[in-house]
Amino acid sequence: QVKLVESGGGSVQAGGSLKLSCNNVGTIQTSYCTAWFRQVPGKEREGVAAMTTSFSGQMNREYAAFAKGRFIISQDKVKNSLYLDLGSLEPDDTAMYYCAVQLPSPTCRWWSLTPGDYHFWGQGTQVTVFS
């Protein structure tokens, strides 16, 4: 059973940083494809970053254009956790951030930033950036 619990959100001034955590991801086996999404009320949920680690240990990451160079996604398999380091935050980054996992499969779509490809979701953690 996969249960996702996010933490680390908060209020931060523009230019600041936060580190989001997604814990209790069942067991992050190397076949899991994981990702972070965000959503603002009244708008569709959008992908932020995705990641998987192959059985050989190769890590693959995909970022949305707005996240490149500012955000970093990472996994800790020992702690069964997923992280998102948010840097150079801007007011437009204000949103509820969610972690998500696809059904375990060696052929999961690791690059996907499409919400419909993910099967397990956390409850979200709020990030507010003020100017």
pLDDT digits (tens, 9 = 90+) for 58-97: 889 999 999 999 999 998 877 888 999 999 999 999 999 9
State residue 28's pLDDT score.
53
What pLDDT band is residue 46 in, cutting at 50, 70 and 90?
very high
48's torsion region: left (phi>0), alpha (psi -120 to 50) or beta?
alpha
Report whether 25 contacts 33 (CB < 8 A): no
For the purposes of burial, counting CB atoms within 10 Å of the CB of 21, is it exposed (0-12), middle (13-18) or buried (19 or more)?
Answer: middle
What pLDDT band is residue 103 in, cutting at 50, 70 and 90?
confident
Instruction: State whether residue 91 is helix, strand or coil.
Output: helix
Q: Mean of the per-residue pLDDT values for the chain?
A: 91
Closest CA to 48 of 32, 63, 28: 63
Question: Cα-Cα-Cα-Cα dihedral of 24, 26, 31, 32, to 10°?
Answer: -50
What pLDDT band is residue 26 in, cutting at 50, 70 and 90?
low
